[in-house]
Structure 1
Amino acid sequence: MPTATDFKDYYAILGVSKTATPEEIKRAYRKFARKYHPDLNPGDKDAEAKFKDLNEANEVLSEPEKRQKYDQFGQHWNQASQGGSPPPGRGSTVSTEDFEQYGDFDSFINDLLGGMRGRSQSRTHTHQTAPGGFDDFGDGFRSQAPAPDTEAAIALTFSEAFHGVQKRLLLGAVALNGNRQNGTAPQDDETINVRIPAGAKPGSRIRIKGKGRPSVFSQQRGDLYLTIEVLPHPFFRFEGDDLVCDIPLRPDEAVLGAEISVPAPDGSVTVKVPKGVRSGQSLRLRGKGWTLPKGGRGDLFAKLQIVTPKDLSPIEQEYYEKIQANTSFNPRAQLEEIKL
């Protein structure tokens, strides 16, 4: 008969509460089974013992009938499963006289649980070694670690990202610049050609199937994910999803309006600046922005910046003085009413 020191708290082993749902128990078991699996801890006796306890705890708590008996009878639950007599003073509220009416302990349990035994016995739970060297713990869960994916960054110029480009990558270098782990990586001498489609933006990702690191279990390759980095451009920039550029204006162009030439990714565009624009105002150039992944073009926003001349010719000096002497415009008129 088990003693108090033989008792294993299956809830504590799995790190869950006694009110844990079946889904919580399953998640906890999977988490720790991966951590302490013997294949990942070769020669570690402590990990092997913990893995054994995890399997035992999961076997009991994942079965409704066994969990019911474990909750009611604790360390004696297995006795109850084998049809023995329940220990005195443990969990049950049924008196000795009430229990004697049953022929054996199984009859008592069947009556107590309302026939749960029949329903729960139809569900099987396996723990077997399957082809490929992984363990099958039932419910579709296998302890084989998935093939590891590789994350890496690839830098493109604005032109390469806008037009699209084909890059030749050395996978060993990609792994070293990405997240190489456990000393495993794709073959160092393997090179691949990667086609970056037109319209790649900073932060976008490209998936290359079967070019990640090999699994330590099956040697199956994971996927390679390339995160796009776009090198800064001296004129164009991204603001969110928009392509933006700054366009300088003379004071007279801002006041009187003008037609100006604005650079776009594929050539210059003539734009009409309306009268009275202010510094910081943007003009929207439809269809002149970034290449869209599904085709077409986005918009380009030309942000106007009024620039004053530093060196004036004599005639410019004269006319600016005349404007200053004769203007009635006061851009600070509304500031006269501001007080604390």
Structure 2
Amino acid sequence: MASTDFKDYYAILGVNKTASADDIKKAYRRLARKYHPDMNPGDKAAEARFKEVNEAYEVLSDQDKRQKYDRFGQYWKQAESAGAAASGGRSPFTSVDFDNFEFGQYGSFEEFINELLGRMGTGSTGFGGRTGPQTGYRTSRRTTGFDGFSTGFDTGTGTGLDTEATITLSLSEAFHGVQKRLVLGREEFEVRIPPGAKPGSRIRVKGKGQHSPYYTSQRGDLYLTVEVTPHPFFQFDGDNLLCEVPISPEEAVLGAQVEVPTADGPVTMNVPAGIRSGQSLRLRGKGWRTPKGDRTDQIVRIVITPPKDLSPVEREYYEKLRSIRSFDPRSSLKGIRL
């Protein structure tokens, strides 16, 4: 990665380098909602900004990744793989003082490695006096070529040829399934994400990992870990979908039929008379897709919402109701003492 490709993740999230994990999470949530594709339909600039925000949060929300990023700058991923693959499990970076390194001066990771090896000496230990990465020392590659989500590729995992990536989907893409065109280095290929992928799901793409340095026909697999961006209405409640639906005070008292959005479109739901705010109703078979092709339930949490602006007639009737009301909602509180 050239130094000009370096992304300042702190600047992307609008926080400083001393920001707490809580500050980073708050900044991410604010920006993710602001630039979410559902909130900016057809806006390519917002979509690109949304990808950047997710990429920045992926690194800065992970304590280990954040420490490496702070220390090695644009080469943090390469340094991470190099340390893990060094002989005997000992990182080649542990004996080097990085305080005087200016990472931005290097045009590529290879230039950085050559300078590093020069500082370490060229004896018979470590890399044996050669001037570049050797067998068993694999660099990580990071790409943002995935259309529609941020990715991070870590080589040297599993068999040493398998590749890990994070794929960020909208809730709609995760629910319905989606075909994605991936760009990995010079290779372009299609990946089908099946319907019903949930956060943390892992999808294996056979034969799309790293090539073996010894056998040209051998190649690892690509493993995609799914992340799902927040939705303004739906969220996960275990295996079910959860939403909140507002109703008016009179609908709560008298009962009502209200229209509720679902993944399949709006449905009419019966709200029983006397329901309380916070109580939940269940729409069976309207939740998330399961691997077997079934559907879980949609949980509807009721929120009684009083009107903010009343017409003169509405105010008159509410005042009449108050004057003739026989029900005392706080009768159970009488006599309570410590």
User: Could you say which TM-score interval applies, normalised by the shorter chain?
Assistant: 0.5 to 0.7
Could you tell me how far 1:217 is from its partner in structure 2? 4.5
Whole-angstrom distance in 2 between the partners of 1:269 and 1:189: 47
1:158 paired to 2:156 = no
| 2:87–2:126 Cα contact (<8 Å) kept | no
Question: Which deviations, in whole Å up to 9, do the C-alpha atoms of 1:243-287 show, x marking residues without a partner?
Answer: 111100000001110011111111111111001111111110000
2:192 matched to which residue of 1?
195
Q: Give, in whole Å, the separation in 2 of the partners of 1:240 and 1:335.
A: 35
Cα distance, 1:33 vs. partner?
8.3
The equivalences for 1:179-328 within 5 A come to 188-218=185-215, 220-328=218-326
* Aligned positions, number: 196
RMSD of Structure 2 on Structure 1 (CA)? 2.8
- CA-CA distance at 1:216 after TM superposition: 4.2
Letter in 1 for 2:208: K
SS at match of 2:259: strand
CA distance in 1, matches of 2:309, 2:87: 76
Q: 1 CA distance for matches of 2:210 and 2:236?
A: 33
- CA distance in structure 1 between the partners assigned to 2:242 and 2:159 by the alignment: 42
Tell me the distance in 2 between the aligned counterparts of 1:146 and 1:200. Answer: 25
Deviation of residue 231 (structure 1)? 2.0
Q: Aligned partners of 2:200 and 2:324: how far apart in 1?
A: 54
Alignment partners' CA distance in 2, 1:239 and 1:162? 15
Indicate conservation of the 8 Å contact 1:284/1:302, yes or no.
yes
Distance in 1 (CA, whole Å) between partners of 2:270 and 2:159 is: 58
Distance 2:297 2:123 in 1: 61
Greater alpha carbon shift after TM alignment, 242-251 vs 205-214: 205-214
Q: 1:337 to 1:214 in 2, by over 3 A?
A: farther
CA contact (8 A) 1:262 1:269 kept: yes
Q: Which runs of 5+ in 1 are unaligned?
A: 1-30, 37-42, 49-132, 135-144, 172-187
| SS in structure 1 at match of 2:261 | strand
Change (3 A) 1:312 1:223: same
* Matched-pair contact (CA < 8 Å) for 1:147–1:214: no
Shift in Å, 1:234: 1.7
Offset of 1:44 from its aligned partner? 6.4
User: What is the percentage of aligned positions where both structures have the same residue?
Assistant: 58
Change in CA separation of 1:232 and 1:311 when aligned onto 2, cut-off 3 Å:
same
C-alpha contact (below 8 Å) 1:278/1:304 kept by paired residues:
yes
Gaps of 5+ in 2: 1-84, 91-121, 128-134, 137-157
Q: Is the 8 A contact 1:165 1:196 kept in 2?
A: yes
